[in-house]
Amino acid sequence: MSSLLPWLALSAGAAIAVQAGMNARLGVELGSTMLGAGVAFAVACLASLLVVALQRAGMPGVDRLQAVPWYLWGGGIISAFGVGMFYFLIPRMGVGPMMSFALAGQIVLAVIASHFGWFDQPVKSMNLTRVMGLLVLVAGVSLIYWE
Delimit the domains of the chain by residue range: 1-93, 94-147
Nearest to 28 by CA among 77, 89, 78, 76: 89
pTM of the model: 0.73
pLDDT, tens digit, for every residue of 29-72?
999 989 998 999 999 999 999 998 899 877 888 999 999 999 88
